[in-house]
Structure 1
């Protein structure tokens, strides 16, 4: 009899302790803690006098309360993180404002005055890469601003939902007070309601703090955009200066190289009639490579075209993002003039872009064919010594005597020059084809973006008010 009596006393003490907790809850003076709820849950789990269904419901309510407390702690942690980030953004805003207030210096080239064309070209490639990165950063800013605007609407809707849920919890608590339930179950359900209320309020506070962060980021955005646009403008100016330097330097170098080959052809033709044909071939290769219509000039023009296309793609991306934001702000309630963008006059029309793509379909295979011809010539060129020996043998056969040392030297120079020009032309044509493909892809990308923007505008303008 002693064991049942001891169990009955323990159960009575547990009921009394739960009853005291309920009274404290009703008075609203109890502070909730995870440890307290766990202790109460363990006591209830050991209680053997409750019906199993009541115990099951009460334990489930305790579990929900513990889960709600953990969720509330997570939201409190998020709120602190948002507050810290807001302070960081406010500090960054002040620093950036001071930076933008300083007078802007004109970008200067850190490049020797007599830099070679290859050195300028290497620097230009670096600056073009930097320009692309800065344009991408500017586009990313617009996308972030667009997402931030959408997030603000999501937060407003979620806070409204939480307010409704809090009202529902108050209704649940009133109904619970009117129900005739076991004190242990009432205590557990009250804890579940109170912790859930704490969860919702913690989420609301976190969302409100996130709104403050978004507000600070929104204030920072125009300054970030100004700085990004300034950096893009600086890179564009540096690229423009380098392109001018490269064009002048390359023109001088190419003309000098071409003149050198022409003198070699003249010397070879004067030395022996047999050398006239290979000398003319060498001059033709040099012109194909270095002349005003040569592949190196075409390559540089294609590089500039690619830079321009990437700039236009960035402009269309920014324009599309701005148009979407303006339309989302007014929707169909506003007039079309409130959100229809001003399209830059220098932006290519879709018809012109489609025409350019058709031209690429003919140009690229033609250039690839030229490359194949050059590779075929290079394969037939053979060893320099063997080729030189072949020409010298023919000259000796025609003249009936061994060629002079001057002719031997001239033949070797001619053969070596042809090999060098073929190798350089093959490298140049490979690069040219790569750039043409880049320009083709960029043109197609720009066309898709322009057409997508047109569709976005006209699909909505049909349903917008005109005034």
Structure 2
């Protein structure tokens, strides 16, 4: 075996394993093969003279040689294919030209008369053929782009291959010049030889491939034309086959229905239900055949639209990639954006089709169950015969059995046909649903692609002299008398066609105009009634709202009607269509502005119902009138010019009017909302702590500068972008005005509800007072507690705080959702910010873009807003409805606030590239530094967390820390606030509550004891005094029955008999009030009972004695000690009373 291997190596010109003499001859490359190298590799593995390291090196070289030999074969096959393509190009060209010339323009397929099953099989085959042809056409259409990219790539690849081939040649020459004949050198020579062969074939493959492309350059477009023609013919044939299938199905269904009706008429009365059921099955199949035809047409239409969208999207992307974002590309994108299918309509169709699909599935299951029952035909026959025998007398049972058998066999046949058709209908529905879903997805993707780019492309050049030239033409077209006469004629023709419609409309408009004065008078009356302090119904406000809408809708209704009739006229000119669009816009904008003006009028909604200050309403009315007279006509011209097809007129007159309108809007907003103006001051006064005040330095400049910025955009050529932003800015303004109106209406409703409750309570108090006075015989002394009309109205600040907060949150969420819907189409354009890289967090990390930073700032701002408002919303919406105490709810709110801030910071940092693995070393270093430098703050923070979770103190607890007693009002991150009895806030670090001593009066039990000391004079009835004190304590509503109150006779005092009342209260809220009421009640009861409350007494005895200085000093010292003792007793007694 070894001799055979050596012989093969000798024949291949390869060096033996152990060469005795050097051989400088190069092995012939053409004799290299995989088998030879593999044999050499096996011999190496079996060798006993080579160590493992040498074997590893040789193994690697030989394996690389095998890979290169295989690659050389692949390149050689590629060369062969290219040469065959070059050789066959003339013949294929002639054949394709011949096939293209003989290709018919119309399909001449003949549909044979056969069964429905065979027709459906042929239809399926034709559909498969069409799919194959379309796949081939798609490949041929993509081939030019692939070849172009390949032509750009192959010179570089060929140059690289030649360079590597030169290096390999140099290495082989160096090995040939060397005198080394070791096995390693031989293996290198084999590997280099195989590599040289591979590189030679690779370079040759590139050369032949380029040559094949040149030879077949004329063939490719002809093949594409031939495939397109074949696809068109195949589609025509498929349509004919589909129509044949539908005709055959309808004909079969009609035949079945006709036969079913005949059998029902001729059937035995006992089996009439069976034949009637067969007739229903046949009728269902006939209806189903028509549904299949309709669904098939919808499916073809959806597939056609999907193919068109995909093709158009592909071509557009190719153009953008090839040309870039030029003005021509911008015009193309805008036109395609206008012709996009309606995604909302497609979504509605998809949602509306789901019940039909479910019903179809259910019907299939029911039919399958019935078909399963008919599998045992004899059993069903006996069952029907049994039913027929019970219901009617049958003379000939054999005839009845035969009729039942025939009816059930017919039902079985109809069921089979119906199940097949219903499955076909179900498949069509599923295919249609999938096609429309793909169409919706592709349309949304295409729209998003356009929206991402179109705003950043100039729609026109900057305003210049040429634009002014076209401005004159546009103005002349707009004011041309003939066009307006044509418009009037169009309206008169429309009225003459249907006078019964025009006359009532005109009469309604005249009645509205005639009733304007009465409506205004009624609005004043309603406003005066709503201003009354005892107005407790929302009806006047809703009536005022209706009157305001009625007053404002007259002119918009006329404009909308004229626009509707102009669009309805079939022979409408371009001018009439453009004016109709302008009238439609005018109707909507005028309605909003007039509603705002009428709302702010005297005794209107804002004045009499919402309580807006009159000083702010007058400027609003003034600036709204200016906007209707100046800004609105300019926008009407813009919309009218935009609705005609001449883009140069739109870029001239339309752009000038748009710019002037935007600058005028900026000036009006600045004048209306200037910081020292009444409107601005009224807004700030109404929301002293809201976002309106917090962000006033943001929203005011934005409101003023945004219209001006849009005007500048239009002047510099970004007219389309300015228009789109202006439309959404206008829609956002409408939304804010609507939310303001809704807020005012809801707050008005809350106010009148609270006012109604207050009046009802006042009436109840008055009735109780009258009843009490009547029982006492003193009715004349009772006065009315019902507020009169001249009493001041309740302030909005007295509205229920929770309800108002719920309204604010609901409107805020509605506003956010509305703004999202308004601006969602523009958001894709912001993706351009993602292409602006700012920094790189690490060597291998992705770039942080401007979009990431903007999103991080937005999320951080939303985090701060959520941390401020979300706990309150959580408290109002959920926590108050749960059986939780106030302290636990405060803990949940605080922890949720911490979590919101933590999550927001983490997300924001992650967006800007500050992930944990990139900053963990920095966090560790900062933590160590802060741990030493701010250890007290960290200790207080951790103590605050312990307080929140362990809850040794809670919000609302009464505590004593040191010499300070009060109520826990807030638990913050660093310190806790105690509000003492003087309403002063005492700030205590959290650490004090954990490490120091703390007295919590209400930690586990809020029940507390009240001690009242009472002293009566000597000689009083002690038993009666004790009974009276105990009676007073038991009658008090706030004193607990268990533990029961107790009265004790404590001592015989110096001046009084001392009693002590000990009773218990459920909490600390009314402690001082209860002590006050007990003192007053005891004093009153003792007065009525003749019991004297003692007071300190001291008898002074004056005697004349011989003055002894020493004795006099002792007496004075004893007197002072006695006085000090009495004062100390008084202080101790007062302390006990306070406690």
Range class of TM-score, shorter chain: 0.5 to 0.7
In 2: Cα distance, 1:139 partner to 1:92 partner: 20
1:260 aligns to what?
A: 259
Q: Is the 8 A contact 1:139 1:317 kept in 2?
A: no
Deviations 1:190-248 (A, max 9, x none): x9999999987875554243223234444322111111111111112112223333333
| 1:108 counterpart residue number | 108
Structure 1 distance, partners of 2:72, 2:275, is 86
Distance 1:216 1:439, change over 3 A: farther
> 2:285 corresponds to which residue?
289
Matched, 1:424 2:417: yes
Is the aligned partner of 1:413 residue 2:412?
no
* Structure 2 gaps, min length 5: 1-20, 32-57, 172-176, 180-184, 461-1139
In structure 1, C-alpha distance between the alignment counterparts of 2:123 and 2:100, rounded to whole Å: 27
Correspondence 1:83 to 2:86: no
Quick check: 1:302 aligned with 2:295?
yes
CA separation in 2, counterparts of 1:414 and 1:73? 72
Structure whose CA Rg is larger:
2
Q: Whole-Å Cα distance in 2 between the matches of residues 35 and 423 of structure 1?
A: 69
Greater helix share, structure number? 1
Instruction: State which drifts further: 457-466 or 321-330.
Output: 457-466
Partners of 1:304 and 1:227 lie apart in 2 by 27
TM-score by length of 1: 0.67
SS of equivalent to 1:133: helix
- Aligned-partner Cα distance in 1 for 2:165–2:208: 19
Cα deviation, residue 371, structure 1: 1.6
CA distance in 2, matches of 1:238, 1:223: 22
| Paired residue secondary structure (1:107) | coil
Q: Structure 1 residues 247, 265: closer, same or farther in 2, change over 3 A? A: same
**In structure 1, what is the Cα distance between the partners aligned to 2:444 and 2:254?**
44
Q: State which of 441, 446, 451 in structure 1 corresponds to 2:434.
A: 441
CA-CA distance at 1:103 after TM superposition: 5.7
CA 246–299 in structure 1, closer or farther in 2 if over 3 Å, else same: same
Q: Distance in 2 between matches of 1:193 and 1:386?
A: 85
Determine helix, strand or coil for the equivalent of 2:218: helix
Matched residue, 2:124: 125
CA distance 1:345–1:335, change in 2 (3 Å): closer
Please tell me whether residue 278 in structure 1 is matched to residue 267 in structure 2.
no
2:365 paired residue number: 372
Greater relative contact order: 1 or 2 (C-alpha under 8 angstroms, separation 6 or more)? 1
- 8 Å CA contact retained: 2:111, 2:241: no
Q: Which has the higher strand share?
A: 2
Mark the runs of 5 or more structure 1 residues left unpaired by the alignment.
1-12, 22-30, 37-58, 174-182
Aligned counterparts of 1:410 and 1:195: Cα–Cα separation in 2: 87
CA-to-aligned-CA distance 1:415-434 (integer Å, 9 cap, x gap): 32223333333333333323
Decide whether aligned partners of structure 1 residues 261 and 330 sit closer, same or farther in structure 2, where only a CA change above 3 A counts.
same
The residue aligned with 1:330 is 323
Name the stretch that deviates more: 281-290 or 138-147: 138-147
Deviates more, 1:257-266 or 1:397-406: 397-406
Distance in 2 of aligned mates of 1:265 and 1:311: 44
Q: Which residue is 2:229 aligned to?
A: 230
Where 1:89 maps in the other structure, the secondary structure is helix
Query: CA, structure 1 residues 446+117, in 2 after alignment: closer, same or farther (shift >3 Å)?
Result: same
Name the CA shift for 1:327/1:154 in 2 (closer, same or farther; >3 Å): farther
Counting matched residue pairs gives: 411
Deviation for aligned residue 1:295: 2.7
1:350 and 1:363 mapped to 2: Cα distance? 21
**Aligned CA-pair RMSD:** 5.1
Task: Give the match's secondary structure for 1:98.
Answer: helix
**Cα deviation digits, residues 136-173 of structure 1 (max 9, x gap):** 22223233343333322322443565688799999x99
Contact 1:388–1:411 (CA<8 Å) still a contact in 2?
Answer: yes
Distance across 2 between alignment mates of 1:167 and 1:128: 54
TM norm structure 2: 0.31
Give the deviation of 1:358 after TM superposition. Answer: 1.8
Mapped partners of 1:350, 1:405: distance in 2: 64
Compute the displacement of 1:306 (Å). Answer: 3.8
Q: Is the 2:330–2:454 Cα contact (8 Å) retained in structure 1?
A: no
Using the TM superposition, give the Cα deviation of residue 261 of structure 1 relative to its aligned residue in structure 2, in angstroms.
Answer: 0.5
Per the alignment, residue 98 of structure 2 pairs with 98
Which 10-residue stretch deviates more, 235-244 or 338-347?
Answer: 338-347
Shift of 1:320: 3.9
Residue matched to 1:9: none
* Contact 1:323/1:341 (<8 A) preserved: no
Task: Say which SS state the counterpart of residue 431 (structure 2) adopts.
Answer: helix
Q: Distance in 2 between matches of 1:110 and 1:329?
A: 46
Q: Conserved in 1, the CA contact under 8 Å of 2:331 and 2:459?
A: no
Contact 1:146 1:321 in 2 (8 A): no
Change (3 A) 1:463 1:155: farther
2-structure distance, mates of 1:404, 1:168: 103
Contact 2:288–2:422 (Cα < 8 Å) also in 1: yes
